[in-house]
Amino acid sequence: MIFSVIVRAAPDNVGHLLALNTCEELIRQGHQLEQIFFYESAVVAASALLLPEQDELSVTRRWQALFTASEVPLFVCVAAALKRGVVNEQEATSHALPAHNLADGFEIAGLGEWIGTLQPTIKQVTFA
């Protein structure tokens, strides 16, 4: 089965962890994961500056590990990201921002990437 996942829960929300565990499991079971789309506060997971407390897991690193192992695109909604301070180099330049912080493996994208997966053959799963 082909899946597409939308993550809307913030990294410190248990829904975000559930999304991460589910995506890892889907890949482990051999399902096709079309993409993972980060929206709302979930985009904060794409910040390279996110520093969890000691003994807590780094969701950013786990998403990056998932990307490295599977090459499933990690799309981060540009509008949601910009208003939460998650910026890639290109956006930093075009908005004259002093720095950029998008973690490796994540990709800034528009909502069109999510809409492209709204097809009868693709199962959408949302974690909010």
Partner 1 sequence: MDRNLAADDKTGNLCLVKTLLFIIQSDPYATSKVSDAIDMAYAAAVFEIEVAVLFSGAALSCLLQGHQSRLLDKKSIEKKILALPIYGVDELRYVVDANSPFASMLAGIADPLPESEQAAYMAGFQEIQVF
Catalytic residue annotation? 77
Stretch that binds partner 1, among 14-22, 50-58, 89-97, 112-120 (CB under 8 A): 112-120
Q: Residue 107 burial by CB count (10 A; 0-12/13-18/19+): exposed, middle or buried?
A: middle
- Interface with partner 1 in residues 6-45 (CB under 8 A): 6, 39-40
Q: Residue 55 burial by CB count (10 A; 0-12/13-18/19+): exposed, middle or buried?
A: exposed
Stretch that binds partner 1, among 22-30, 49-57, 89-97, 118-126 (CB under 8 A): 118-126
**Burial code of 72-106, b = ≥16 C-beta within 10 A, e = fewer?**
bbbbbbbebbbebebbbeebbeeeeeeeebbbebb
Residue from 9, 20, 80, 109 in contact with partner 1 (CB under 8 A): 80
Our finding on whether 49 is near partner 1 (CB under 8 A) is no
Residue from 79, 85, 90, 104 in contact with partner 1 (CB under 8 A): 79
Instruction: Specify the DSSP class assigned to residue 9.
Output: S
Our finding on whether 115 is near partner 1 (CB under 8 A) is yes
The footprint of partner 1 (CB under 8 A) covers 6, 39-40, 79-80, 83, 110-112, 114-116, 118-120, 124, 126, 128
